[in-house]
Amino acid sequence: MSSFLQSIPMIIVTVLAFGLLIVIHELGHYFAARWSGMRVERFSIGFGPVVWSRRRGDTEWAVSAIPLGGYVKILGMAPGEEIPPGETGAYSTKPAWKRFLVILAGPAMNYLLAVVLAVGLIATLGLREPDPSATVGDVIPGGAAARAGLRAGDRILSAGGAPVADWKALVQAIRAHPGQELELSVARGDGPGAPAVSLTIHPDDSGGIGKAGIAPSLRAVHAGLLESVSMGFRRTADKAGEILGGLGQIVTRKQKAELQGPLGIAQEMTRSARAGAAPFLMMVWLISIMLAIFNFLPLPALDGGRLIFLVYEMVTRRPVNPRAEAVIHTVGFVLLFGLLIGVTLFGDLPRLLRR
């Protein structure tokens, strides 16, 4: 009970941070809609019944009962919504390119936030990135590395008798030995005179690919303010490329999908919050990039799906049937919600209960 009470501040910080990421996303839609001359009827922080609201101009600013995320209600965006005669501020009355910018602005704001976080971290606390050397960072409890006795800080000198030059070489050696013995020579401690020990690891077999349950050690990247701006853009683009590459490997079945739902993400954020400001902001940076990419995916109910319909309209100069589009987005939302529930029930909860 006492450990749970001690975790409450971290849980609150996690909820606020995740909520902020969604609010930033919705602010992108809001500002783009206002710039496009659209009438924004409500900007809500949270979902469900409104518990507090204040009207400024045409917009009702509200706080709702469920403090996760938020939404922007733009006049004329809902299918079949009646538009008052002579109303020029409705979403449906604006040209397709303006509607495209409004939808695009949400995930674009998440990506921009990630860049800002990267710049801030590089200029202050340091942006942590994987060390290219074959030095172990985190060791997942119960994984093959933990069972073999590997520890954080261990430097792998050789695997299977072959010298290991860097982390990439170590990963290749582990992936090539699923379910097989692999002898490791490990330097334990700092300096060239650190004692070497021999360990035998049996990488877990994950679809014919060896998995050890380790992560590389991290190093902090620092720079001056001007240099941190260009580095922030580059590091964010590099991380986005890594994530997209991972998605591509999952689609082509070269890598097994390891999905996390809201509980899993919250758990990772809470753990990083306990580790300090830099790890926590790194996690927020990563999730902001992932939110941008996820919303750009061309799937129904996501911003990317809506953008596909708008591109079709701009190319053919013919709008998609609003009712047909609404049905497609509704079906997509139901499927995505079902996937979310499935990942939570059969992924997040079992992992949480095993800890």
- pLDDT tens, 267-302? 777 777 777 888 888 889 999 999 999 899 988 888
3-state secondary structure 175-198: HCCCCCCEEEEEECCCCCCCCEEE
Q: Please give the pLDDT value at position 55.
A: 93
Looking at the predicted structure, is the pLDDT value of residue 348 above 90? no
Question: What is the secondary structure of 206-238 as a DSSP string?
Answer: SSSSEE--EEE-EEEE---HHHHHHHHHHHHHH
Nearest to 287 by CA among 8, 9, 25: 25
pLDDT-derived band at 338 (thresholds 50, 70, 90) equals confident
pLDDT-derived band at 1 (thresholds 50, 70, 90) equals very low
Specify the DSSP class assigned to residue 153.
T
Residue at 332: amino acid letter? G
C-alpha torsion angle, residues 31, 17, 266, 65 (rounded to 10): -70
Helix (H) or strand (E) holding 99: helix 96-123
pLDDT-derived band at 66 (thresholds 50, 70, 90) equals confident
Separation of first and last alpha carbons in the chain: 16
- Ranking 87-91, 197-201, 204-208, 279-283 by mean pLDDT, the lowest is 204-208
Tell me how far apart the alpha carbons of residues 228 and 345 are, in angstroms, rounded to a whole number. 41
Q: Please give the pLDDT value at position 4.
A: 40
Which sign, positive or negative, has the C-alpha torsion 123, 126, 129, 131? Answer: positive
The string of pLDDT tens digits covering residues 215-241 is: 888 888 889 989 999 999 999 999 999
pLDDT-derived band at 205 (thresholds 50, 70, 90) equals confident
pTM, to two decimals = 0.80
Place of tokens 């490329």: 241
Active site residue 26: yes
- Ranking 226-230, 240-244, 325-329 by mean pLDDT, the lowest is 325-329
Domain locations along the chain: 2-39+75-125+269-354, 136-216
Region 245-255 average pLDDT: 70
If one counts every other C-beta atom within 10 angstroms of the C-beta of residue 100, the result is 20
Region 114-124 average pLDDT: 95
Q: Please give the pLDDT value at position 333.
A: 76
Looking at the predicted structure, is the pLDDT value of residue 316 above 60? yes
Please state whether 248 falls in left (phi above 0), alpha (psi between -120 and 50) or beta. alpha
Looking at the predicted structure, is the pLDDT value of residue 191 above 70? no
Tell me how far apart the alpha carbons of residues 172 and 166 are, in angstroms, rounded to a whole number. 10
Task: Please tell me the total number of residues recorded for the chain in this structure.
Answer: 355
Q: Please give the pLDDT value at position 100.
A: 96
Q: Which has more pLDDT, 135 or 31? A: 31
Q: Are the CB atoms for 340 and 262 separated by under 8 Å?
A: yes
- Active-site residue identified among 26, 60, 82, 183: 26
If one counts every other C-beta atom within 10 angstroms of the C-beta of residue 4, the result is 8
136-216 maps to CATH 2.60.40.60: no
317 CB-contact burial (10 Å; exposed 0-12 / middle 13-18 / buried 19+): exposed
Region 316-341 average pLDDT: 82
Instruction: List own/partner pairs for 254-261 with CB under 8 A and 24 or more apart.
Output: 255/209, 256/206, 256/207, 256/209, 259/343, 259/347, 260/343, 260/347, 260/348, 261/340, 261/343, 261/344, 261/347, 261/348
Nearest to 70 by CA among 48, 51, 39: 48
Instruction: List own/partner pairs for 330-335 with CB under 8 A and 24 or more apart.
Output: 330/301, 331/300, 332/299, 332/300, 332/301, 332/302, 332/305, 333/300, 333/301, 335/300
Place of tokens 């999730």: 287
pLDDT-derived band at 263 (thresholds 50, 70, 90) equals low
Angle formed at CA 155 by CA 278 and CA 149, multiple of 5 degrees: 95
Q: Please give the pLDDT value at position 22.
A: 87
C-alpha torsion angle, residues 317, 321, 322, 328 (rounded to 10): -110
